[in-house]
Amino acid sequence: MASLDRTLIANLPLFSGLKPEELDALLSEAQSVRYPKGVTVFHQDAEARAFFVLLHGHLRVFKLTPDGQQVVVRFVVPGEVFGVAMAIGRTVYPGTAVAVADSIALQWPSAAWPRLAAAHPELANNTLQTVGARLQDMHTRVVEMATLEVERRIAHALLRLAQQAGRKVETGVTIDFPISRQDVAEMTGTTLHTVSRILSAWEARGLVESARQKITLRQPHQLMLLAEGTG
């Protein structure tokens, strides 16, 4: 663990409220693992043998339907806990996580969760906040899918991605991990064709710039008006 940035780790939400010696004890049980771009961290329905904190990189988490269709659940960004199936009472992973960029994660055996959570109640409390925030995100997504036309849903989805993982660049705010039009389609419950049509129209208006696996918001404020139905 010596090679990892200790200060960075101490500031992660999962470890909020832990004393330095508690964090040391926790980290002494963690394993640091590299996941090169394209590698699967865990598979849907596989035994949930570990839980993780992402230190570096980005993951794409998706669910496969019995019909073989894929739906992106979310992207995991550095600092986030993930794979906490055990903590929420499940024995298998509910989705598949794939590294979309070279990534590094800390991992602990799931079997250690009950003991660690008992010894450090902050762990359960902090995980509860993360899972609660994800639940709110999913509520938002369901409400948008049920009530908004597709153009507004796509605008909301891009703005949320920019908020989660935006990086300022000369031309605006770029989403700082590889994201495809197909991903955006799955996140908004529409087709690749529709996403392509709308992004092309936005591109013509100078609102966004999109290349292969790359989306940049050139006019986030204008996109916000669109999302709110006033653009």
Name the site residues for its own copies (rule: CB under 8 A).
Answer: 63, 65-67, 69, 71, 73, 84, 87-90, 94-95, 117-118, 121, 124-125, 127-129, 131-136, 138-139, 141-143, 145-148, 186, 189, 228-229
Least spacing, CB of residue 149 vs its own copies, in Å: 11
Least spacing, CB of residue 71 vs its own copies, in Å: 5
Q: Which is nearer to its own copies, 38 or 132 (CB)?
A: 132
Q: Which residues contact 91 (CB under 8 A, 6 or more apart)?
A: 47, 48, 85
Least spacing, CB of residue 201 vs its own copies, in Å: 22
Q: Which is nearer to its own copies, 42 or 176 (CB)?
A: 42
CA distance 97 to 28: 25
Least spacing, CB of residue 109 vs its own copies, in Å: 18
Least spacing, CB of residue 143 vs its own copies, in Å: 5
Do residues 189 and 182 make contact, with C-beta atoms less than 8 angstroms apart?
A: no
| Sign of the dihedral through C-alpha 88, 89, 94, 100 | positive
Q: Which is nearer to its own copies, 122 or 209 (CB)?
A: 122
- State the angle between helix axes of 150-165 and 181-188 in degrees (0 to 180), rounded to the nearest 10: 110
Least spacing, CB of residue 154 vs its own copies, in Å: 13
Q: Which is nearer to its own copies, 4 or 145 (CB)?
A: 145
Q: Which is nearer to its own copies, 90 or 167 (CB)?
A: 90
CA distance 81 to 159: 22
- Alpha carbons within 13 angstroms on the beta-carbon side of residue 100 total 22
Q: Is 44 left (phi over 0), alpha (psi -120 to 50) or beta?
A: beta
Helix (H) or strand (E) holding 108: strand 103-109
Q: Which is nearer to its own copies, 142 or 169 (CB)?
A: 142
Q: Which is nearer to its own copies, 48 or 175 (CB)?
A: 48
| Torsion angles phi and psi, residue 214, rounded to 5 | -145, 130
* Helix (H/G/I), strand (E/B), else coil: 230: coil
The pair of three-digit structure tokens given for residue 93, joined into one six-digit string: 């992973």
Least spacing, CB of residue 32 vs its own copies, in Å: 25
